Amino acid sequence: RRTGRAASHGKTILIGEHAVVHGAPALVLPVLDARVVATVTPIDTAPAVPHPDADPATGHLLESAVHTGPLDTAPAAVLPTVTAVTATLRHFGVTDRRFHVRVESDVPTARGMGSSAAVAAAVTAAVADALGHTLDADTHHELVQECERIAHGRPSGLDARGVVADAPVWFDGGRIEPVALGARFTFVVADTGVPGHTREAVASVRDRLERDPVGVRGTIDAIGALAHAARAALERGDARALGASMDAAHGLLDDLGVSSGDLDRLVEAARAADALGAKLTGGGRGGCVLALAADDDHADRIAAALRGAGAAATWTTTIGDRA
């Protein structure tokens, strides 16, 4: 009998949200400080007296900030967790084992930081670990995507990649590549405090594309071109060029109708604090903004300005430490 344990973390999209759903490339960054840890402990397979809080149908018990109790009465927010447990057990052909699943997460839900994918990534790997297995990267990704389809409809897979990556990832047509960094880059993520609505935002962009295929395809292609420009800027260590791509991407996301007054206000506050660039990140219509700082002190100043402008929380994330 072994206890399984696995961790993942939040993510932030540097460039390419929404456009990626329609085939454009995108860049995603891990947010290593926002952690998810899943611990999966076997419950006796044939208990004389079932655990009072356990799921009557399956015997599983979930303990998390969102829901504690049986899986079958779980609210919609924990459906990805339920799927993570059941899909992993099905993958290994296991039907006769009961588990206590504990999820601890610093990743806020519905903020574009990949909380649903991060929880799914940690729980699937922890269930596999409790069964004495390790998931290979492709199988793990497929299981997380199964959970993400429940959370988001038709996810591109970008979130699922970002929450297990330890470095920036270039995502194109479902394939991923690591990005070489020419310098150290410091970003500030700020939460509007307003839940985002990824599923609805993705559906509304799809509607716009159907109504105005030429115009919206032009915007999607322009975001794709910014993703290429941003990758080149990361590789040659050009923070100013990267910031300019981020500013332009925010304008194009606004054209797609996925920004909001709260997001625009935080983007303006970051720019007023001399951020090199700022944009919404993730599904939009709430959730988070991402700002690029010149250095760590500047990141502290931007974070303070964002909190002064009403941000509920901020995170600083640095990439390219070893560059």
Residues near ligand MEV, by CB under 6 A? 13, 17-18, 20-21, 112, 152, 155-156, 158-159, 198, 202, 282-283
CA 154 – CA 145 distance, rounded (Å): 9
Helical packing angle, 198-211 and 213-236, nearest 10°: 120
Catalytic residue among 159, 172, 238, 262: 159
Measured from the CB atom, is 159 or 238 closer to ligand MEV? Answer: 159
Measured from the CB atom, is 131 or 246 closer to ligand MEV? Answer: 246
Measured from the CB atom, is 5 or 199 closer to ligand MEV? Answer: 199
Minimum separation from the CB atom of position 87 to ligand MEV (A): 18
CA 316 – CA 322 distance, rounded (Å): 17
Of 66, 119, 47, nearest in space to 55 by CA: 47
- Answer for the pair 317, 187: CB distance below 8 angstroms, yes or no: yes
Strands (E), 47-199: 61-64, 68-70, 98-105, 169-172, 175-178, 185-191
Minimum separation from the CB atom of position 307 to ligand MEV (A): 23
| Residue 132 CB neighbour total at 10 angstroms | 9
CA 210 – CA 24 distance, rounded (Å): 17
Measured from the CB atom, is 206 or 301 closer to ligand MEV? Answer: 206
Minimum separation from the CB atom of position 12 to ligand MEV (A): 9
Residue 129 bears catalytic tag? no
Minimum separation from the CB atom of position 157 to ligand MEV (A): 7
Give the residue at shortest CB distance from ligand MEV: 156
- Which residues are 12's β-sheet partners? 29
Provide CB contacts within 8 A for 60, sequence distance 6+.
43, 54, 70, 71, 85, 98, 99, 100, 101
Q: How far apart are the first and last CA of the chain?
A: 43
Measured from the CB atom, is 16 or 277 closer to ligand MEV? Answer: 16
Minimum separation from the CB atom of position 73 to ligand MEV (A): 28
Catalytic residues: 159
